[in-house]
Amino acid sequence: MGSIHLHVDQYINYLIIEKGLSSNTITAYSRDLSVFIDFIKKNNIDELINTDTIVILKHLIELRKKGLNARSRARHLVAIRGFYKFLVQEKEMSHDPAAVVDLPKVGFKLPDVLSKEDVKQLLDAPDCSKPKGMRDSAMLELLYAAGLRVSELINTKLQDVNLEACFVRVYGKGAKERVVPIGTYAREKVDLYIKASRPALLKNIPSPTLFVARAGKPMTRQGFWKLLKRYSQVCGLKKKITPHSLRHSFASHLLEGGADLRAVQIMLGHTDISTTQIYTHVAHERLKKIHEEFHPRG
């Protein structure tokens, strides 16, 4: 089994160095491959060259029996496919047994989108008379204004924000850089936070990170999730809200307002426009509901 683990380590290093994938993606791939390697071990296979398509199919069947849904099983298979493709590329294997395995069918799921009224309630929730409230308000406004992922938000540096030109420089998946405009609301909130709140939170501790927590430490994903949950409860919003809800809402509201799909794709940082097209379905669903509600023969 030593050689198998060595190959996994080599593949993970390849994803980090060559592909530049995010730490979250690396963690997910490592976890999924670890589960697959454990399955191989249980089946008394000690060399990857002895694995075949049947073994991979058996693994996916076992995952289904354990209760993993199609989306989770598809993610596992993507990790396995990438691993075998790497092994063939490195000439460790002569053929790819995962290439002929189809991805489990994943149902079409529209993202959760907040109404414009719900977004306004949420963004107005923080108490801007206090340093933490100013910070929270700036974070929420910037997240919605630029359609950021939570990881992009918390990793934003002070130098990445240009308030005069009203844009933020974002480093997304695979360290890909994009520049996204922000509106006057976000500009004013971020400006207020930088001038009146950030120095109080830093307590003379230097930090390149824009949004900081206690004693100048960077805001964490978990910390932002907690404050978002708290503000959604304060507003009395009943639907489950995640940081991605504001990203989804950003895209949907732009398209509803007549924005070009290609422009939204660039702002979201999607490599493939088909990923962005899901939001056109959201916009169409909203239009159907409006028609049904207000048309005399709807």
Q: Is 7 among the residues known to form the active site? A: no
Q: Of 132, 169, 173, 178, which is the active-site residue? A: 173
Q: Which CA distances in Å does 244 have to 144, 221, 251?
A: 10, 12, 11
Q: Is 81 a catalytic residue?
A: no
Mean pLDDT of 22-33: 90
Statement to judge: residues 144 and 276 lie in one domain: yes
Residue 107 belongs to a domain: no
Residues 144 and 201 in one domain: yes
Look at residue 55 and tell me whether its pLDDT is greater than 60. yes
Residue 193 within any structural domain of the chain: yes
Q: Give the model's pLDDT for residue 294.
A: 61
270 a catalytic residue: yes
Any catalytic annotation for residue 11? no
Name the pLDDT band for 283 (thresholds 50, 70, 90): low
pLDDT score recorded for residue 71: 83
Same domain, 68 and 135: no
Q: Specify if 197 maps to a domain.
A: yes
- CATH label of the domain that carries residue 29: 1.10.150.130
Cα distance between residue 21 and residue 134, in whole Å: 32
Average pLDDT, the chain: 87
Average pLDDT over residues 181-201: 94
Are 230 and 280 contained in the same domain?
A: yes
More confident call, 287 vs 203 = 203
**3-state SS, residue 255:** helix
pLDDT digits (tens, 9 = 90+) for 149-188: 999 999 999 999 999 999 999 988 777 889 999 989 999 9
Co-location of 126 and 266 in the same domain? yes
- DSSP characters for 152-220? HHHT-BGGGEETTTTEEEEE-GGG-EEEEE--HHHHHHHHHIIIIIHHHHHTT---SBSSB-GGGPBPP
User: For residue 79, is it within any domain?
Assistant: yes
Last residue of a domain, one of 42, 72, 89: 89
**How many Cβ atoms sit within 10 Å of the Cβ of residue 4?**
18
Q: Which of 73, 75, 135, 149 is catalytic?
A: 149
Residue 156, token pair as written in the block:
């934003």
My answer on whether 140 and 73 are in the same domain is: no
Residue 291 has pLDDT above 70, yes or no: no
285 versus 158: the higher-pLDDT residue is 158
What CATH number is attached to the domain comprising 131? 1.10.443.10
pLDDT > 70: percent of the chain: 89
Distances (CA, A) of 291 to 168, 253, 267, 285, 296: 37, 17, 29, 10, 9
Shared domain check, 129 and 254: yes
Task: Please indicate, yes or no, if residue 96 is contained in any of the structural domains.
Answer: no
Catalytic choice (198, 247, 248, 253): 247
Same domain, 206 and 280: yes
Taking only Cα atoms into account, the Rg of the chain, rounded to an integer number of angstroms, comes to 23
Tell me: do 143 and 268 sit in the same domain.
yes
What integer pLDDT is reported at residue 189 of this predicted model? Answer: 96
Highest mean pLDDT pick, 2-6, 90-94, 292-296? 90-94
Contact call for residues 230 and 140 (beta carbons, < 8 A): no
Structural tokens at position 159: 């130098």
pLDDT value, residue 87: 92
pLDDT digits (tens, 9 = 90+) for 86-117: 999 999 998 899 988 887 766 555 567 888 99
Q: Is the residue at 111 inside a domain?
A: no
Residue 244 is among the residues annotated as catalytic for this protein:
yes
Expressed as residue numbers, the domain containing 126 is 116-294
Instruction: pLDDT band for 5, please (50, 70, 90 cuts).
Output: confident
**Model pLDDT, residue 108:** 53
Sequence-ordered list of residues with C-beta below 8 angstroms from that of 68, at least 6 positions apart, any chain: 76
Q: How many domains does the chain have?
A: 2
Say if residue 174 is in the same domain as residue 278.
yes
End-to-end CA distance of the chain: 64
What whole-number percentage of the chain has pLDDT above 90?
50
Do 172 and 220 reside in the same domain of the chain?
yes
pLDDT at 289 over 70: no
User: Looking at the structure, do residues 215 and 250 belong to the same domain, yes or no?
Assistant: yes
Catalytic residue list contains 173: yes
Whole-angstrom Cα distance, residue 85 to residue 224?
Answer: 37
Residue 250, in any domain of the structure: yes
Catalytic residue among 64, 85, 178, 244: 244
> If pLDDT is split at 50, 70 and 90, which confidence band does 290 have?
low
What is the pLDDT at residue 117? Answer: 92
What stretch of H or E contains 292? helix 278-294
95 within a domain of the structure (yes/no): no
Yes or no: say if 273 and 261 are a contact pair by the CB < 8 Å rule. yes
Q: Which residue has the higher pLDDT, 154 or 3?
A: 154
Q: Looking at 169, 221, 270, 286, which residue is catalytic?
A: 270
